[in-house]
């Protein structure tokens, strides 16, 4: 408590000291006669009326003192006094004994019966006597002016201004009426004008009172301001409205208490993340309904056997959407359809973990192994493929353009300011903050939770050229910047390089960011300054999917849904990872694993997918067809075909071997085709026959694909050594002419048989 608050606290006392009044409930006979006189006396200035007022001094004095505190005008005092006298005469009791309902009945009077503003002063009497705690129960009232009447203008305005100063510093644009009314409701409920005397119980009482809806909505903001003033230790928690949210109104409906008790015990003991724990708990509630219907004798987990586990796995495999639930919140068209493979796997994972924990903590004996008996079937696991939901390149390019060119006109405006001209309205978040959020989402490949948990100063610039280890290259200065990522669900805090546009956008926001209160990181327990914090509150969980992505989609002119589903914040992570994996100089799987912050490369495979274009290029570069087929040039002697010489056995097709020609018709089946043994079908290029062949004008050139064996392909790719091995293997294989290469090499003196002279039709014999 600061010095100003201490002085106010010491100076403030309850406006009326009720202990110095006679608060006897019953009226004496003389008081009853005096009441009748004042109520029905034709003149209030008669001697009889004056004597009656003297008889009622015990009741009129506190009324006069309380109205004097509120500075009521004389005509108002007259009307309020007459109303109080008539009600006491009607009830025949002093107002000290009235209940809250009797006070409210007294206060609710038609405005035409008494002077103006009697309503507020009658309500002030009930409030000052501690009979009426919720002033809104009597009807609509101006909280600010009423609170000033009770506590005084100086004390009330001091409290309101202290809260307003904190909120304005955080970036709030406070309404001149809303904030004073909210603070005044709290002061009235706490019965004090000193902020330091307010507690979270006071906030909760206002929330449960009959205050206006806008007051209840603003309570959390004011509570954060009191945390900033170091009056409260923590802000007001969010209200829990029954029936709202992701889960049904009562998860225990139709669930036997014996099974539900075990599930609650597990939920209170488990150390899983809160959201995972809640999801598992609701799945266990469905298991309880299934047990109540099929195996009511196994409501105790200790009575489960391998047979029951196998039956449950089969039931999950056949389960439909909405089955074993009491209030399933999904699209009506999905009800009754089979569960997806991912949903079935989650059911088995949570139940498997439940039994593993119960056995590990020695709550139940080990009758079966949950890891084997409740394992996900192979058929379901086969459907859990690594298929990233990548956004199409053209759509992603338009979203990038929209994020880099956001303007103030693109941002949505609060709905409550619809009546105000657009030029006089401001978006909920500043333009610099929205731009920074958009750039981080479009370029960094972060989870939505990681975006929300980034901290001030998370960008570090590389201000000098850095040599790359193991190479002679250097990374130019300011080519990239480094982004510090907080601890996530699978990895400790790490640093990743990002494009410089990210650092520039964050730097602009940090310059425009107003001072914000530090907050506790629920994952690490540290008190940190969140980067995306405004108006004393961190970026909302649904902002990316509910606001930013629709804004970018509207500006880019692209739909928010494609063939793979809705465009969500997490799909950007898959898109960026796949682009880095398919770049001209792609990141390796392990480099991408480190960049994404995964603990295992198996997780990275769910985000990186090779594009069909990249796959086609890699396939073409691999040269699969060329490696298994060899193209050889073929010469067709059309003269031999037309003259009929080919039909008489003369060669008409010549396979170009480079150093000569092969005239064997079935060259593609010859084992010596890649290492010609120069048999009788071989025609050297330097011979007269070859020269005569090449001189023919009507010679047709063609290409023929020749399939290669493994040894032949190796000879083509690896060179001399493989060729020598191929020749060695074929040394004793007969050639198409009959002799083997070894026989041909041994017979040095034998003259090579000559082919018949090539003749043209015009050549004489």
Q: Do residues 555 and 441 both lie within one domain?
A: yes
234 touches 227 (CB < 8 A): yes
Q: Do residues 105 and 168 both lie within one domain?
A: no
Q: Do residues 586 and 463 both lie within one domain?
A: yes
SS3 content of the chain, % helix, strand, coil (to 5): 50, 10, 40
Mean of per-residue pLDDT scores for the chain:
80
Note the pLDDT tens digit of each residue in 166-222: 988 888 877 777 889 899 999 989 889 999 999 999 999 998 888 888 888 888 889
Q: Do residues 435 and 580 both lie within one domain?
A: yes
Q: Please report where in the chains the tokens 């909760």 appear, as a residue.
A: 204
- Is residue 235 a part of any domain in this protein? no
Q: Do residues 558 and 466 both lie within one domain?
A: yes
Average pLDDT over residues 398-426: 75
Q: Do residues 647 and 733 both lie within one domain?
A: yes
Q: What percent of the chain has pLDDT over 90?
A: 22
Q: What is the pLDDT of residue 751?
A: 44
Q: What is the pLDDT of residue 712?
A: 59
Average pLDDT over residues 613-640: 63
Q: What is the pLDDT of residue 108?
A: 81
- Establish how many alpha carbons lie within 13 A of residue 42's alpha carbon, considering only the half-sphere containing its beta carbon: 0
Q: What percent of the chain has pLDDT over 70?
A: 77
Q: Do residues 199 and 322 both lie within one domain?
A: no
- Is residue 15 a part of any domain in this protein? yes
- Is residue 689 a part of any domain in this protein? yes
Q: What is the pLDDT of residue 549?
A: 93
On the question of pLDDT at 444 being above 70, the answer is: yes
Of 409, 302, 425, 284, residue with least CA distance to 362: 302
Note the pLDDT tens digit of each residue in 76-106: 888 888 888 888 888 888 888 888 888 888 8
Q: Do residues 163 and 54 both lie within one domain?
A: no
Q: How many domains does the chain have?
A: 5
Q: What is the pLDDT of residue 338?
A: 86
**Confidence band for 349, pLDDT divided at 50, 70 and 90:** very high
On the question of pLDDT at 511 being above 90, the answer is: yes
Distance, CA of 188 to CA of 202 (rounded, Å) = 10
Could you count the other beta carbons within 10 Å of the beta carbon of residue 527? 10
- Is residue 249 a part of any domain in this protein? no
- Output phi, psi for 67, to 5 deg: -70, -30
**Confidence band for 304, pLDDT divided at 50, 70 and 90:** very high
Strands 466-467, 533-534: parallel, antiparallel or unpaired by DSSP?
unpaired
Of 344, 339, 356, residue with least CA distance to 381: 344
Alpha helices in 513-584 (DSSP H): 543, 549-556, 569-581
Q: Do residues 445 and 298 both lie within one domain?
A: no
On the question of pLDDT at 454 being above 50, the answer is: yes
- Domain endpoint, select from 573, 604, 635: 604
Element (H, E) at 268: helix 257-269
576 touches 483 (CB < 8 A): no
- Is residue 617 a part of any domain in this protein? no
Of 164, 158, 36, residue with least CA distance to 88: 36
Distance, CA of 300 to CA of 288 (rounded, Å) = 10
Note the pLDDT tens digit of each residue in 118-138: 888 888 888 888 888 888 888
Q: Select the highest-mean-pLDDT range: 274-278, 460-464, 528-532.
A: 528-532
- Is residue 755 a part of any domain in this protein? no
Q: Select the highest-mean-pLDDT range: 119-128, 284-293, 475-484, 671-680.
A: 284-293
Average pLDDT over residues 342-370: 92
Q: What is the pLDDT of residue 760?
A: 36
On the question of pLDDT at 630 being above 60, the answer is: no
Read off the DSSP letter of residue 530.
Answer: B
More reliable by pLDDT, 469 or 371 = 371
- Domain endpoint, select from 102, 132, 162: 132
- Is residue 234 a part of any domain in this protein? no
Of 339, 320, 552, 597, residue with least CA distance to 444: 597
- Is residue 246 a part of any domain in this protein? no
Average pLDDT over residues 626-655: 69
Q: Do residues 280 and 405 both lie within one domain?
A: no
On the question of pLDDT at 232 being above 80, the answer is: yes
Q: Do residues 463 and 580 both lie within one domain?
A: yes
On the question of pLDDT at 249 being above 50, the answer is: no
On the question of pLDDT at 618 being above 70, the answer is: no
pLDDT-wise least confident of 412-416, 460-464, 491-495, 731-735: 412-416
Q: Select the highest-mean-pLDDT range: 239-248, 308-317, 667-676, 714-723.
A: 308-317
**Confidence band for 693, pLDDT divided at 50, 70 and 90:** low
Distance, CA of 737 to CA of 743 (rounded, Å) = 12
On the question of pLDDT at 9 being above 50, the answer is: no
Q: What is the pTM of this model?
A: 0.67
On the question of pLDDT at 6 being above 50, the answer is: no
Q: What is the pLDDT of residue 324?
A: 78
Q: What is the pLDDT of residue 314?
A: 93
Average pLDDT over residues 311-322: 89
Q: Do residues 116 and 193 both lie within one domain?
A: no
* Domain boundaries, position 295: 257-383
Distance, CA of 652 to CA of 192 (rounded, Å) = 116
- Domain endpoint, select from 542, 571, 604: 604
């Amino acid at each position: 408590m600061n010095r100003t608050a201490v002085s106010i606290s010491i100076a403030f006392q309850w406006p009326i000291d009720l202990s110095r009044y006679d608060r006897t409930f019953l009226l004496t006979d003389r008081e009853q006669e005096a009441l009748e006189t004042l109520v029905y006396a034709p003149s209030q200035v008669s001697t009889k009326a004056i004597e009656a007022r003297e008889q009622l001094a015990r009741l009129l004095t506190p009324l006069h003192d309380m109205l004097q505190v509120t500075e009521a005008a004389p005509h108002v005092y007259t009307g309020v006094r007459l109303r109080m006298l008539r009600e006491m005469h009607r009830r025949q009791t002093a107002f000290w004994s009235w209940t809250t309902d009797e006070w409210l009945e007294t206060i609710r009077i038609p405005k035409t019966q008494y002077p103006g503003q009697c309503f507020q002063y009658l309500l002030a009497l009930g409030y000052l006597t501690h009979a009426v705690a919720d002033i809104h129960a009597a009807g609509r009232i101006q909280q600010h002016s009423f609170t000033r009447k009770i506590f005084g203008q100086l004390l009330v305005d001091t409290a309101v201004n202290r809260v307003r100063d904190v909120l304005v510093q955080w970036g709030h644009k406070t309404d001149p009426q809303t904030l004073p009314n909210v603070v005044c409701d709290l002061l009235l409920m706490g019965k004090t004008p000193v902020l330091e005397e307010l507690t979270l119980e006071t906030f909760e009482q206002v929330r449960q009172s009959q205050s206006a809806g806008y007051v209840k909505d603003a309570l959390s903001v004011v509570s954060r301001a009191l945390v900033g003033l170091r009056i409260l230790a923590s802000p007001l928690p969010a209200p829990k409205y029954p029936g709202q949210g992701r889960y049904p109104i009562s998860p225990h409906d139709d669930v036997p208490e014996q099974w539900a008790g075990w599930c609650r015990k597990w939920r209170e003991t488990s150390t899983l993340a809160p959201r995972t724990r809640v999801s598992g708990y609701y799945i266990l509630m469905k298991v309880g309904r299934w047990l109540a219907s099929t195996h009511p004798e196994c409501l105790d987990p200790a009575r489960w056997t391998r047979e029951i586990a196998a039956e449950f796995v089969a039931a999950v495999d056949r389960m439909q959407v909405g089955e074993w639930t009491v209030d399933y919140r999904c699209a009506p068209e999905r009800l009754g359809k089979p569960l997806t493979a991912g949903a079935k796997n989650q059911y088995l994972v949570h139940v498997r973990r439940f039994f593993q924990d119960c056995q590990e903590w020695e709550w139940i004996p080990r009758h079966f192994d949950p890891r084997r008996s409740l394992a996900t079937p192979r058929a379901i696991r086969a459907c859990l493929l690594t298929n990233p939901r990548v956004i199409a390149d053209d759509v992603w390019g338009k979203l990038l353009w929209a994020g880099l060119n956001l303007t103030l006109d693109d941002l949505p405006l609060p709905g409550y300011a619809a009546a105000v001209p657009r030029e006089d309205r401001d978006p909920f978040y500043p333009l610099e903050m929205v731009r920074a959020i958009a750039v981080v989402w479009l370029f960094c490949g972060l989870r939505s939770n990681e975006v929300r948990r980034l901290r001030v100063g998370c960008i570090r610039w590389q201000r000098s050229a850095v040599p790359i280890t193991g190479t002679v290259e250097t990374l130019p200065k300011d080519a990239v910047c480094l982004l510090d990522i907080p601890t996530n669900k699978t990895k400790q805090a790490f640093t990743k390089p990002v494009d410089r546009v990210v650092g520039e956008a964050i730097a602009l926001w940090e310059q425009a960011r107003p001072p914000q209160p530090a907050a506790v990181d629920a994952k690490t327990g540290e008190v940190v300054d969140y980067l995306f914090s405004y108006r004393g509150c961190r970026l909302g969980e649904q902002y990316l999917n509910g606001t930013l992505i629709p804004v970018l989609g509207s500006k880019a002119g692209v739909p928010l849904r494609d063939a793979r589903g809705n465009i969500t914040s997490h799909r950007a992570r898959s898109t960026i990872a796949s682009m880095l994996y398919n770049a001209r100089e792609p990141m390796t799987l392990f480099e991408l694993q480190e960049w994404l912050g995964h603990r295992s490369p198996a997780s990275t495979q769910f985000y990186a997918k090779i594009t069909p274009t990249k796959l086609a290029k890699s396939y073409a570069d691999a040269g699969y067809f060329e490696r298994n087929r060899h193209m050889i040039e073929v010469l067709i002697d059309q003269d031999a075909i037309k003259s009929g010489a080919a039909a008489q056995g003369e060669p008409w097709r010549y396979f170009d071997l480079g150093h000569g020609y092969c005239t064997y018709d079935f060259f593609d089946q010859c084992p010596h085709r890649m290492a010609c043994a120069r048999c009788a079908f071989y025609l050297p290029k330097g011979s007269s026959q070859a020269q005569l062949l090449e001189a023919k004008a009507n010679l047709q050139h063609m290409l023929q694909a020749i399939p290669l064996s493994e040894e032949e392909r190796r000879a083509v790719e690896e060179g001399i050594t493989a060729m020598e091995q191929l020749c060695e293997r074929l040394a004793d294989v007969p050639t198409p002419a009959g002799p083997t290469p070894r026989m041909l090499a041994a017979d040095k003196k034998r003259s090579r048989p000559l082919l018949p002279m090539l003749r043209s039709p015009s050549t004489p014999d």
